[in-house]
Structure 1
Amino acid sequence: MSGKTGAGVTLNAAAGVEAPARPRTTGRIGESVARPDGIPKTTGAFAFSSDLWADGMLWGRALRSPHPHARIRSINIAPALAIGGVRAVLTADDVPGTGIFGIEHADQPVLAADVVRYCGEPVAVVAADHPETARLAAEAIEVDYEPLPPVTDATAAADAPPIHPDGNLFRHIRIRHGDPAATGDIVVEGDYEVGMQDQAFMGTESGLAMPTVDGGVELFISTQWLHNDQRQIADALGLAPADVHLTLAGVGGAFGAREDVTLQIHLCLLALHTQRPVKMLYNREESFFGHVHRHPARMRYRHHATADGRLVNVEAEIILDGGAYASTTAAVLANASFFATGPYKVPNAAVDGWGMRTNNPPCGAMRGFGVVQVCFAHEAQMDRLADALGIDPLELRLRNALEPGDTLITGQQITGTAPVAELLEALGEYPLPQETDGAGRHGSGGNGAAGAMARPGGAGRTADDSHVRRGVGYAASIKNLMFSEGFDDYSTAACRLSDGVATITCACVEVGQGFVTLAQQIAREVLGVQQVLLDPADTAIGSAGSSSASRQTWMSGGAVLAACEGVRDKVLAYVSAECGIPPTELSLRDGQVISASGLSRDLADISAERDFRHEIEYHHAPTTEVDADGQGEPHVSFAFAAHRAVVDVDGDLGLLRTVEVATTQDVGRILNPQQAVGQIEGGIAQGVGLAVMEEIVLDGGRVRNASFTDYLIPTALDMCDVRIARLVEEPEPGAPFGAKGIGEPPTISSTPAVVAAVRQATGLALNRVPIRPSDIALHPDRNPRRS
């Protein structure tokens, strides 16, 4: 027995001594634990991949095609080699191995040999003593191109001559659910379009490759998936995977764009050729050309409903522009097709999705991964249907909200949590931002400096209060968690306990999502220790998979949890053997092994006697591929969110200001409240950006705005207030601690909510994002008197 004394010590009756009370372990699950990299990043002390340096280092640079489609007649590298300080100029002829790469399907050449298929495709790489010398050498390479007609329309690509040996179709998905011919009392149709969005991370692509004495290569890189990069490098350069070692360098944001290989193979190729360390650092223009973007989409929808607003049937056709190479188009298309009907009960559906190859820049992963595009369309359809039925848009969504046990259009039953109705109800109950009368109405705040900044158009004093109209819009979404369609998704982690300190080893890439904090919280929760160290993420341990698809909390969090539990069990077995107490009667708490019978042993002392280590490969529940009708169980779990946007619009000028976005979200269990809020705020910022300003402008396959001067993203002055109306905590069965990934849902339905608010304010259809001022001011259906 043990008891408390007034002096604040714990009496161990079995030992007959008093010991000081142990301080409680802090920084556990459920607490707002500060990021270990927070202060270094804030003060500028954090080392990003762009800060890498090595003695004798060379600088790499790529020469890129100025044409979206052309035949390469010849390449003359002699002028580049004649420049002093140039150490290598390499073309496709210098690439060993397969010479091709791809995250899911290898179809992209390391360096274009005979044909270039998009503007910006690498044709040659150089290494030189100085970055400016490398730039001049790349510009000195003479390439004789024969321009070819580019295929830049994804819809026309199906009938165009193939631009790649694999053809112009990446994938076609066909979903037939229930009776696809079923009709309803009310039918609404619409055509929708989503532009190409960039991930717009702050830190451009960079890395450092170093040759090893055994003929291999060491790469320090900012990426999202170390082991997939390793595989692609090895295959492309004819190396064994064991000869390619990757270590994660500091990542300056990702959002999907770092899931694909960019400069990794070029760096290793140059380092192996020169036998010198080589660094590459993209400028912003190179970054726009060098990485994948969000897929542009064209969608056609037809919704059928009963007279009282129950969905009967949804028909949809979805065309995604995948650009020149495969990347993850097949998987993005799957998500777009599988979730084409949103978080609603749909008894019948006919959905067809096509991912097409064009001579536009390659497209791949970006936050929301295909669901962003279709959510914009299906939520616009719900608003059209509500208008046709004379039903409140929020009420229509509530009448059709998915629940646990419901069946999706893929035939999969929801076996986990699905609090869609609760999300919508909480959003509807949340107070709207206050409007004031007179000069400050519509939230414009009067005629002073603050009031001017609050108007559409900002301080330019372009908007007049009397012309401003306010709109309110709602949207809801569903998104899968983790990889799908039978992919054997796993993560590897190890935990070592020595001298009372836990060390976690995992190749999970920290891209800003907070895994470095979560791993420490898990170890403290399970082991009861205060000090937790994280080894650098590298390929010395097994794969942790990609930091994408809202998967790392579940997958790598699950791996760390299992590894820590393995160490805990070994510690308890060790103490049990020493003390003769069954392991079931022992537990770890606040740095001690304790028992109900009064045992109390210091964990630091125990782990000084010997180290305890456990490594595990954690897998989630299996999924299946879909059949020819798109039926199966392709997903593990789902997350839901709802958004309400309030927007002020000056219709005469086509200017708008997003006043507020309120949100409710299904989170399973919150593991770190502060990080959860940060994920939600950041995701909504990207959703607002897509709604009103973010788009890569293409002209005949050429990017016309490859800079942050011309590609606009929301700044602090553009960003609205974000209000969290409710975070619904219903633990998800099978998930570590019951938690769901939080990062993607905020981006998905925030975009259609903003557009719905603009539609309400203007009365215009607005079937394309981002909304441009001309889409409002010059819309043929606009009634100036309404605005």
Structure 2
Amino acid sequence: MAPDVAGVGGSAAERRLRIITGQKTYASDYRPKDLGWPEHCAHALLLRASVAGRAYTGIDLGRIRPDLRPDLVITATDLRPPFQNFISTMPIELFVTPGQPIDYVGQPIALLLYDDFMCFRRAAQEIREDAGPIVYAPPPAEPVTVTTIEEELTQWRNLRCDNGPNETHYLLDVDRDYSQWTRGQLTLANGKFQRGQRPDPDADRMFQEMSADGDGRAVQTTTYTQTIDPAFLEPEAGLGWLDPATATLNLVLGTQSPYSDVTEVRAVLGASNPRIRDIRITAKDMGGGFGGRDKSPFTLYLAVAAAFAGSPVRLAFDRREQFQGGLKRHASAVHSHIRAAADGTLDSIRTFTVLRGGPETNLNGAVLSLAALHATGPYRVRRAGSHAVVVQRPIPTVGSMRGFGIPQVAFNVETAIDRLAVLELGEDPIAFRSRNVLRSGTDRDLAGTPLRFHLPTAEICDAAHAHELWQGRHDLRCGEGVYRGVGFACCMEAYGTSSDSVYCAVRVTADGGIEVWSQTLDMGQGARQSLELVATEELGRPARADLGITGWFEKFAGHLATHHAHDPTFKNWSLVHGASSASKTAFFHVHALREACRALLRLRLLPAARVILGEPDLADEELLSYWRNGEVQLPGRPSVPLADLAAHVHQSNAEPGVMVHGYFNNGWSSARFTVDGHTLDLWVDGLAFIREPGDDMTILAPQGDIRMPPLAPGGSKIPRSVYASGAHLIGVTVDTRRGAITVTDAVTFLDAGDVIARPVVDGQVEGGLAMGIAHTLFEELPPETGAGPFANFDRYRLPRWNDLRAITRQTVPVELGPDGILGPDQPNVRHKGIGEVTMTTVAPAIANAVAHALGHVDARCWPTRTPIRVADLSLP
């Protein structure tokens, strides 16, 4: 049986060559004949509402010219059992049901299928240019009142907010040892805090005490960030075909969530649908991800089109459609009150965060939880409160893209810290930060979780303070109408999901080749290249990685669940596939691969070496000490290359590969395995021998119980425990004559650990800077986004080459000590996820640079909204 999800073949180098030479790479490049499917291809057009607030009553095809009418229309009424129109796991309604109101402009109404491509193209253009065939009920007599985000923030500061089902609260009191870590998760009911179902009067008292804090050495800051679009290199596109001979639904597309895609597609099409026995998703390169394709409903619409088409079908958004229907980033409003003690330490931080979500939940909860956890920044504080809510509003669906809620709150707390240091304390803002940032080993984060692992924010602050750009900031010369400034901002950003289930497989071919299979995906962050380099480093020969595998790993998960059903630790760990997020490769997937390579080497290749050398008593340690570049090179004996070892494994009919499962929650799970008298301790909890992809596997039972990392004494899930630190020094000019703010210098301080692939890290740093500048100074969705042809790159402004080419850039890495990231018990873990931290601090660093350029005269010097415009500044 083949895996349900097959990745694109080819090494990272081969794939780069295909891109450079213009060969087929992205999902939009492929046609059915490229995949061996029937050549005839239907084309799907997603029909969207052009108004909101009115009820949808039906579709009138008479409004379309006869020669441009579709061959098939799929609406909510067509999704009768075994099909369904609603996915409870997201949740999302695929199509509006007749008689129901339109929630937002751009909401999907139907799929129109065309057999003829030219008819499809002309029809798509005509439907975009007018109201199309959708019939609406008359508008309501009374217009719907929509509150502004400013009003929502005002309500939320009193812990009241209409239509806000998702809330997250953290309260921390170091003196009382009060936190989520010690007490459990905090919730709010009827205006009172509680833990579980029990009232928590201590929380109510703390909230009131912090509300009564005087202003003293304090600042209050309110900031707003805008909704933005991922602006992918390639809009979403895909091909689908329901093969009637095998009852297999084949989907080829760029997706960030193949694991949940399979589950949700099966739910939409009917788990017991006799026409669809198997679902196979082939994940092509996507031309941009980073959250914007995580839980995207695009896959569901492609699957529905394929189930009804009767032939291969193509659904491909153009840029306008992507602006209409693609996931967006949450707009935000954040209010903070930060107070310093007499000795210059931070006494309290109190924040209220409102994130604007669409009417569909998507990943609102996950984004909210991260925003709330990071709302007080990377700072040690005696008392803290963070209260965050997602409100659902009639706007296009928003998701997890570009930083998962952390950039929105970082913009507030980092500009507030700057104001506090400069205006209230008269201090150097970096020196003030360095004195107050959290440190690993002694401090706890906002949730109260002990910071056991590597966290070098203080070292980053010290390096930035000593940098020549910061030291020379007061010598910048200003011309007439031109002001120059330098700003700094730092962060500690959690990566992973806190309960990360990771799978990986590796094997040797009969001729000594190395093949790697991973559940992760490459969305431009270099996952494939990194995994191939790590496998090459471990086993000594070039490796080839195939990504986006689920079916094979799901079978492994089923076996593990059966084997560990009676393990007392089983209830505390997870086999669920997590999202293939952009920041998970280096820490999570590389770890699983290294452990898999260790197992393969010790349990298959070294036993082969003992046989070939005729030395059955050679210990693993001795053989490993002479393992060089894929060969056993014992002194005085002929070297034994990997090809010979692999050939012996295959000839002996032993399985030539291994599959592993690891689980991370405040540390890696671990177990001991014994094979043929050889015992191996691994930082994974599941191990199997494998042959070919999709084949059955031989599960190895661990000796004794699985060893799990420590849980929180309060009984609640630990929100996060591993963080990457990062910062930016940004130099700007504010030209009042041209009305332009220009970034002139950018220094990125990066806590990546040991670098696996320098070009990948350099690309992340450069891309993160460009994204951060775009969000801060350029990007802004027109208010009529979703209404049809109105939003495109002619109105959605991104930085151009001229905006970026003259920036003087530098990257300053932070060295990782011998204990690695997780400490001396596991010093071999030496890589961090940095996909998001390269962007998070750009916006507040630019805002702080603008404040410096304007003279740090008063609070009005600090911008409070993005995008920052010269017209909104309080100029000297």
* Common fold: TM-score over 0.5: yes
2:260 equivalent among 222, 225, 228: 228
* Residue type at the aligned position of 1:589: R
SS at 1:307 equivalent = coil
**Equivalent in the alignment of 1:14:** none
Bigger shift: residues 309-318 or 127-136: 127-136
**Residue type of the partner of 1:614?**
V
Instruction: Give the 3 Å change call, closer, same or farther, for CA 506–726 of structure 1 in structure 2.
Output: closer
| Residues 110/732 of structure 1: CA separation in 2 closer, same or farther (3 Å cut) | farther
State the one-letter code of the partner of 2:637: G
1:775 aligns with 2:872: yes
Would you say 1:517 and 2:503 are equivalent positions?
A: no
Q: Is the 8 A contact 1:58 1:129 kept in 2?
A: yes
Contact 1:247 1:539 in 2 (8 A): no
Question: Residues of 2 paired with 1:424 and 1:478: CA distance?
Answer: 12
2:213 corresponds to 1:203: no
Pair 1:169-2:266 in alignment: no
State how 1:2-21 maps to structure 2 within 5 Å.
none
Counterpart of 2:598 in structure 1 is 565
Amino acid at match of 2:513: V
Matched residue, 1:425:
462
Partner of 1:237: 269
- Using the TM superposition, name which of 61-70 and 556-565 deviates more: 556-565
Superimposed CA distance per residue, residues 146-191 of structure 1 (whole angstroms, 9 cap, x where no aligned partner):
446374645667999xxxxxx9324111111115535474121111
> Hey, what's the Cα distance between the residues in 2 that align with 1:158 and 1:765?
20
> Against the structure 1 CA distance between its residues 748 and 705, is the aligned structure 2 distance closer, same or farther, given a 3 Å change threshold?
farther
Over 3 Å counting, the alpha-carbon distance change for 1:477 and 1:502 in structure 2 is same
Could you say what secondary structure the match of 1:680 adopts? helix
Alpha-carbon distance, 1:99 to partner: 1.7
Q: 1:106 to 1:34 in 2, by over 3 A?
A: closer
Partner of 2:492: 478
Asked if structure 2 preserves the Cα contact closer than 8 Å seen for 1:412 and 1:632, the reply is no
Deviations 1:703-760 (A, max 9, x none): 9962111111112211133211333334311586410012111110111001111122
- Whether the 8 Å CA contact 1:257–1:366 is kept in 2: the answer is yes
- Write out aligned runs for 1:137-152 (5 A): 137=123, 139=127, 141-147=133-139, 149=144, 151=146
2-structure distance, mates of 1:108, 1:141: 20
Q: TM-score, normalised by structure 2?
A: 0.76
Match of 1:252 among 287, 291, 298: 287
Is 1:691 matched up with 2:796? Answer: no
- Contiguous gaps of at least 5 residues in structure 2: 1-10, 33-38, 156-161, 174-205, 555-576, 651-655, 668-708, 856-860
Letter in 1 for 2:23: A
- Shift of the 47–312 alpha-carbon distance from structure 1 to 2, 3 Å rule, reads same
The alpha carbon displacement at 1:577 in A equals 4.6
Q: Render the CA deviation track for 1:21-76: whole Å, top value 9, x for unaligned.
A: xxxxxxxxxxxx98543333233225211111011111111001112333112223
Q: Cα deviation per residue 1:571-610 (whole Å; 9 max; x = unaligned)?
A: 1123335531333332342232344563521221232244
Partner of 2:511 in structure 1? 499
Give the percent of matched residue pairs that are identical in Structure 1 and Structure 2.
27
Quote the offset at 1:399 in angstroms.
1.3
Q: 8 Å contact 2:358–2:394 — kept in the other structure?
A: yes
Is 1:724 the counterpart of 2:811 in the alignment? Answer: yes
Where do 1:412-561 residues align within 5 Å?
412-432=449-469, 465-484=479-498, 487-529=499-541, 531-535=542-546, 537-542=548-553, 545-548=578-581, 550-561=583-594
- 1:666 maps to 751
More displaced, 539-548 or 246-255? 539-548
CA distance in structure 2 between the aligned counterparts of 1:774 and 1:766, rounded to whole angstroms? 11
Tell me the distance in 2 between the aligned counterparts of 1:197 and 1:566: 45
Residue 105 (structure 1) aligns with = 90
Return closer, same or farther for 1:152/1:615 CA change in 2, 3 Å cut-off.
farther
Structure 1 stretch displaced more, 329-338 or 697-706 = 697-706
In 2, are the aligned partners of 1:664 and 1:725 still within 8 Å (CA)?
yes
**Structure 2 residue identity aligned to 1:388:** E
Cα distance in 2, alignment partners of residues 391 and 207 from structure 1 = 55
Match of 1:297 among 325, 328, 332: 332
TM-aligned CA deviation for residue 552 of structure 1:
2.2
Deviation at 1:216, TM superposition (A): 2.9
Partner of 2:323: 288
In 1, Cα distance between the equivalents of 2:494 and 2:227? 22
The answer to whether the Cα contact below 8 Å between 2:50 and 2:786 also exists between their aligned partners in 1 is no
Match of residue 396 from structure 2: 361
Deviation at 1:653, TM superposition (A): 4.8
AA at the equivalent of 2:300 = I
Letter in 1 for 2:458: A
Distance 1:115 1:134, change over 3 A: farther
Once the 2 structures are TM-superposed, how far is the Cα of residue 620 of structure 1 from its aligned partner? 1.5
Q: Does 1:274 align with 2:345?
A: no
CA contact 2:43–2:313 (8 Å) conserved in 1: yes
SS at match of 1:259: coil
Change (3 A) 1:265 1:135: farther
Q: How many Å separate the matches in 2 of 1:621 and 1:760?
A: 41
1:149-164 → structure 2 map (5 Å cutoff): 149=144, 151=146, 153-154=148-149
Provide the rounded CA distance (Å) in 2 between the counterparts of 1:275 and 1:152: 46
1:625–1:634 CA contact under 8 A, matched in 2: no
Counterpart residue number, 1:592: 631
Does the CA-based 8 Å contact 2:608-2:649 persist in structure 1? no
Change (3 A) 1:665 1:437: closer
Contact 2:259/2:550 (<8 A) preserved: yes
One of 737, 740, 759 as aligned partner of 1:655: 740
Decide whether the 8 Å contact of 1:226 with 1:539 is kept in 2: yes
**2:292·2:400 contact (CA, 8 Å) conserved in 1?**
yes
Does the Cα contact within 8 Å between 1:664 and 1:728 map onto a contact in 2? no
How far residue 317 of structure 1 moved from its aligned partner, in angstroms, is 0.6
Output the CA distance in 1 between the equivalents of 2:271 and 2:29: 28
Any idea what SS the aligned residue of 1:547 has? coil
Answering whether residue 332 of structure 2 is matched by residue 332 of structure 1, we say no
Shift of the 147–264 alpha-carbon distance from structure 1 to 2, 3 Å rule, reads: farther
Give the CA deviation at 1:424: 1.0
Match of 2:433 in 1: 397
Greater Cα offset, 386-395 or 690-699: 690-699
Closer, same or farther: CA 668–488 of 1 in aligned 2, 3 Å: closer
Find the counterpart in structure 1 of residue 657 from structure 2.
613
Tell me if structure 2 keeps the 8 A contact 1:171–1:354: yes
Task: Output the CA distance in 2 between the equivalents of 1:345 and 1:603.
Answer: 51
Report deviation, 1:78: 6.3
CA deviation profile, 1:306-332 (whole Å, cap 9, x unmatched):
134210001111000011211111111
Cα distance 1:152–1:617, how it changes in 2: closer, same or farther (>3 A)?
farther
Q: How many equivalent pairs are there?
A: 714
Letter matched to residue 59 of structure 1 = H
Determine if the alignment matches structure 1 residue 218 to structure 2 residue 256.
no
RMSD of aligned C-alpha atoms? 3.2
Contact 1:207 1:267 in 2 (8 A): yes
- Partner secondary structure for residue 524 of structure 1: helix
Please give the alpha-carbon distance, in whole angstroms, between the structure 1 residues aligned to 2:281 and 2:239.
Answer: 10
Q: 1:124 to 1:751 in 2, by over 3 A?
A: same
Segments of structure 1 that go 5 or more residues without pairing to the other structure are: 1-32, 161-166, 443-464
Q: Which residue does the alignment assign to 1:642?
A: 727
Aligned counterpart, 1:455: none
> What residue in structure 2 maps to residue 87 of structure 1?
71
Paired letter, 1:403: R
Give, in angstroms, the shift of residue 565 of structure 1: 2.2
**Which segment drifts farther, 533-542 or 89-98?**
533-542
